[in-house]
Amino acid sequence: MTLRNGKFYDSAGQIVPLEHGNKEQLEIMRKHQERMDELTGDGLEVQPVFTVYTEVHTPCVCNQGAYITFTGEGDDEEDACDNMHGKVETCYKCKRKYKVNHLGSTSTFINLIVQ
């Protein structure tokens, strides 16, 4: 298993999902941390870059089994959620449009845009 661009890959080149407690993934992360510590000891400054992705799924009112998916990304969870505010997505089945008006840790408001 290898770590490239923040994702784990198996020997066949397939992405391996991050798994809590996976000893092989933890060992790879420990080795990368040791290498970063070595580099900072040489006067280099290591600044890891993280991107947080968030998704919200909501069923469409058309009742045809379609779900509307909103995605956002940012430097932290709050930033990722802020980047979803105002986004408009369309149901692929009935073409109704939905807009994110509020996205919070305890509540999310997605409105149907009446045309």
Write the DSSP assignment of 30-80 as a string of letters: HHHHHHHHHHHHTT--------EEEEEEEE-TT-SS-EEEEEEEESSHHHH
* Class of residue 81 by CB neighbours under 10 A (exposed 0-12, middle 13-18, buried 19+): buried
Which pLDDT belongs to residue 115?
60
List pLDDT tens digits, range 36-70: 788 777 666 767 677 777 777 888 888 887 888 88
Q: What pLDDT score was predicted for residue 74?
A: 80
Q: Tell me which amino acid residue 18 is.
A: L
CA dihedral angle for residue 90, residue 96, residue 97, residue 98, rounded to 10 degrees: -100
In the chain, the percentage of residues whose pLDDT exceeds 90 is: 0
Does the model's pTM come out above 0.75?
no
Q: Which of 63, 71, 57 is nearest to 93 (CA)?
A: 63
